Structure 1
């Protein structure tokens, strides 16, 4: 019996009323993946994972077989009847069917920036990228002062200037990270797009590549890793820029100091990829390599079940509802998930806490009036605190707006329910 995405209606062997008429479909992609097949619409980014027999039944309907013919073929091939009416209803809910008066789907147009993506992620581009990284490593070995360190952030005594510089300097680099994902996706002809969102209390750019699951798995790795590769390239370029500005006495002018400060922030962003619980690029790499469907949710439920077992309580989640591959991987990934929380805490303590301690120490020392501080220094401290509060408040506003939207959506659903 084919696996379906919606609840099946009772009965076996039922056929639709128009069972002798072929169905009209939107353009669908069929991507085999082990014993399953990912089927969906690249134009809408709607996909479903079907067992091989369900995918073959759908392919029969797409190729022009009537419902009656497809049901007979399935019973002859697999030795059991199929509820074809229920199956057709499910694929209709997924948006795979076209209305009878809807025109034939037009041939997809090439996405913008496809040629640029192919040029950037080409063998020539790879050689230039490797040369950049090799040059940066050589420069750090020759001049250890170029190695990223938190002290590089303090290129000025004005904390508000430091904060504004970090924020404004990071924005184009974050955009470049997500743009690399999108460009690598467009290289494959995927209509990838960028948006703004948040992760916990961080404002982030987000790349949407829903069609990625519709391409062969081996082609998914580059779009997934493109952001990390971009960050490594940025780290290398900033290091070489600082090296080029280094004075004969070993000091750096302001452009070199800015480059080193941004290089350290880029390193922190690379370490942030180890925060699996935020579903970073490395998380999606693991999911793709292992052929999982919803590993994050399954792993969290495994942890919850184990925690309840330790306390002598019943497990809150039924393992039979998990995808078999997710269930197998989650046994050890759940441990890695907990380790990700520990890694994030270590990154916070080792990478950010020294910076925050030094910054806040300077600010509160000025506000408390210890030592001789100018009016400009006091104004700088007040502005820094205001910016810090704003940096936390903006994601909080986004979170509250999301909650209001969700409540409004639930309210509309409740009103429309019979």
Structure 2
């Protein structure tokens, strides 16, 4: 072990958060976070306040009861990019989605956002969620019928065109809820577009939640669902007034409400699928104190089916105990979850797709010389384009993984 020097190490603006038996250290700007033993947190905090390496080593030894190689630890921090190189250049955050903002979004003051996610607000959201469940149970007629409610007008084509911006706006509201909740606890977020199973999705990068204690992370993780519940309850309340005869709006108003209930409910239930990288999956990971459950789940599945390589076996041996404990049962939840995704797709996505395809086939039957042909092709193409893009992205991912496996095998 090398003797520590008196030299001071200038660190980047790092966050240091105790998390169970470990400490989470990271650079909020680059979005890089790691877990280290508590003694490492002692060293980082000492360096942050300007202590030299020798002084930091003395504090670490007093904490651990044995000498600590601070010089080697500093080199690890340097490799992680946690040591200030003096360039003054901003660090670019690592990409976590196929399409993503490079910069973190702040904008709104935490003081303004905080009241929307205080105890009183969460109580209201809970009551509204119970209202939605109670309404669907007591008035089954308000449960969406996707094959009908997805289409605002009698013209399938124009309705299909309207459904796309409706769905995009719904997703934007959900992700905006995550961002607003993140600002409520003083952290930044950024938006992106990626693939989840059979769908293209918007997503909010909440990596900076690692800068706050575990109990505070639930606010941004559940912020999107909170917005979904508020919007859905307002829509259901309006539809309930129509259903009971208290309110008699024009037919197009009730049809618009029906479309939005369908869109909002489909998105909310999607986020409840814990076997996907959904909002509730993130809540589960936080509650269990996991670090990389998704990866460990994959390794445990490969081991169960006898497909674990020597390198992967070593990776699994070094996994966090919390990940392994949860992965032993979560792997089967994930595997069974494929049926859940197919059921969701069959209930919410397939009926509108079948209706549009049937309508488009009738329109295309007139041939390319008719206006009906091109109108049908345009509408069908716009509605089916997201599914086509999902297939393209999925194929590219499979080909890339195969190329990586071939490259590893040739070494």
**Matched residue, 1:384:** 379
Q: Which has the larger radius of gyration?
A: 1
In structure 1, the residue matched to 2:286 is: 288
1:119 is the counterpart of 2:115 = yes
Go from structure 1 to structure 2 and tell me whether the alpha carbon gap of 1:114 and 1:64 turns closer, same or farther (over 3 Å shift): closer
Q: Which string of whole-angstrom CA distances, capped at 9 and with x for unpartnered residues, describes residues 166-188 of structure 1?
A: 11112222111001111111011
Aligned to 1:192: 189
- Give the TM-score, by structure 1 length: 0.78
User: Of 329, 334, 338, which aligns to 2:331?
Assistant: 334
Cα separation, 1, equivalents of 2:290 and 2:163: 37
1:56 alignment partner in structure 2 = 42
The equivalent residue for 1:36 is 22
Task: Give the aligned partner of residue 142 of structure 2.
Answer: 146
Counterpart of 2:178 in 1: which secondary structure?
helix
- Give the TM-score taking structure 2 as reference length: 0.79
Secondary structure of 1:161 counterpart: helix
> Who is 2:254 aligned against?
256
Shift of 1:260: 0.8
Instruction: Please list, as runs of the form range in 1=range in 2, the aligned pairs for 1:4-403 lying within 5 A after superposition.
Output: 13-15=1-3, 19-75=5-61, 77-99=63-85, 112-126=108-122, 129=125, 132-133=128-129, 143-150=139-146, 151-200=148-197, 202-245=199-242, 253-276=251-274, 278-308=276-306, 316-318=312-314, 319-368=316-365, 378-394=373-389
Q: Is the contact made by 1:246 and 1:252 (CA closer than 8 Å) also made in structure 2?
A: no
Equivalent-residue separation in structure 2 for 1:380 and 1:153 (angstroms): 19
Question: How many angstroms does 1:313 deviate by?
Answer: 9.4
Runs of 4+ in 1 over 6 A off after TM superposition: 100-103, 249-252, 312-315, 396-406
The 1-side partners of 2:309 and 2:6 are apart by: 54
Give unpaired runs (5+ residues) of structure 1. 1-12, 104-109, 370-374, 407-418
Number of equivalences: 379
- SS of residue in 2 equivalent to 1:173: helix
The alignment's C-alpha RMSD in Å is 3.6
Post-superposition CA distance 1:319-377 (Å, at most 9, x none) = 312122111111111111112222111212233333333332333245447xxxxx776
Aligned to 2:96: none
Determine if contact 1:159/1:380 at 8 Å carries over to the other structure. Answer: no
SS of equivalent to 1:37? strand
Does the Cα contact within 8 Å between 1:22 and 1:65 map onto a contact in 2?
yes
Counterpart Cα distance in 1 of 2:233 and 2:280 = 20
Q: Structure 2: how far apart are the matches of 1:334 and 1:183? A: 32
Find the aligned partners of 2:329 and 2:198 in 1 and give their Cα distance: 28
Which SS does the other structure have where 2:306 is aligned? Answer: helix
Deviations 1:250-278 (A, max 9, x none): 99611211211121122111221244454
Q: Write the deviation string for residues 134-157 of structure 1: whole angstroms up to 9, x where unpaired.
A: 665666567543232223224433
Unaligned runs of 5+ in 2: 90-105, 402-411
Task: Judge conservation of contact 1:39–1:55 (CA < 8 Å) in 2.
Answer: yes
Partner Cα distance (1:209, 1:147) in 2: 32
Q: Does the 8 Å contact 2:276/2:334 carry over to 1?
A: no
Q: Secondary structure at the match of 1:317?
A: helix
Q: In 2, Cα distance between the equivalents of 1:159 and 1:83?
A: 69
User: Distance in 1 between the 2:268 and 2:244 partners?
Assistant: 29
- Following the alignment from structure 1 to structure 2, what is the Cα–Cα distance between the partners of residues 98 and 193? 24
Structure 1 CA distance for aligned equivalents of residues 186 and 11 of structure 2 = 21
* Aligned residue number for residue 7 of structure 1: none
Contact 2:164 2:383 in 1 (8 A): no
Distance 1:84 1:126, change over 3 A: closer
Q: Check 1:250–1:377 CA distance in 2 against 1; reply closer, same or farther (3 A cut).
A: farther
**Cα distance change on mapping 1:388 and 1:171 into 2, 3 Å:** closer
Whole-Å Cα distance in 2 between the matches of residues 64 and 317 of structure 1?
41
Distance in 1, matches of 2:325 and 2:156, equals 49
